[in-house]
Amino acid sequence: MAHTAAYKHYQPNESVARSPSRSEQTARVLAQSEAMCRANGARLTRIRRNVLEVLYTSHKPLGAYELADLLSPGTRRMAPITVYRALDFLIEQGLAHRLASQNAYIATVHGDGGDTCAFLICEECGDVSEATSRDFADTVSGLVSQAGFRPRAKVLEITGRCAHCQGAGRH
């Protein structure tokens, strides 16, 4: 188990999003995140929690303005600065990541690789998967320490075409 790759798939329009087990999973992730923040002496406030919940349930990276819209349906839009502050907090806590190539944000799921992971970004359908393993994390740590470098984020963004889109292209 320790050496298996953790793999989280963010599939747009996935029907599993409506199943009750999915919302239980979301509740569990939010509770874990809250406990993690508390252990770090930080507080997952209501706004921070809401931003994390929207990121976690969206299955695709979201821009700050998209997030603001999703967080305030039918009412006056939440101020982008409020969203940015919440995102800064979540990134600092290792709960979210900004995908530089997309200028969008995504919730992070820590598997065996801890805070080291690769995001596989499909340029065709926008699907993003998170992949990590203990071996990958060890390799990255080794490279970084050899260079005497102090990393802030250990995240690799790999762009290309997902398996689904490659299959669609074969017809």
Per CB under 5 A, residues contacting Zn ion are 122, 124-125, 127, 162, 165
Shortest Å distance, C-beta 8 to Zn ion? 16
Q: In angstroms, what is the minimal distance from the CB of 161 to Zn ion?
A: 6
Q: Residue 78 has what DSSP assignment? A: P
Report the residue number, 124 or 135, with the smaller CB distance to Zn ion: 124
In the complex, minimum distance from the CB of residue 10 to Zn ion, in angstroms, rounded to a whole number: 11
Q: What is the dihedral of CA 73, 75, 81, 84, to 10 degrees?
A: -10
Q: Name the minimum Å distance from CB 47 to Zn ion.
A: 32
Q: Which residue lies nearer to Zn ion by CB, 123 or 135?
A: 123
Q: How big is the chain, counted in residues?
A: 171
Nearer to Zn ion, 68 or 122 (CB): 122
Which of 131, 162 has the CB closer to Zn ion?
162
CA distance 138 to 66: 35
User: Between 140 and 162, whose beta carbon lies closer to Zn ion?
Assistant: 162
Q: Order the strands of the 154-160 sheet from edge to edge.
A: 6-10, 128-132, 116-122, 154-160
**Is 155 in contact with 97 (CB distance < 8 Å)?**
yes
Least separation in angstroms between residue 123's CB and Zn ion is 8
Pairing mode, if any, of strands 116-122 and 154-160?
parallel
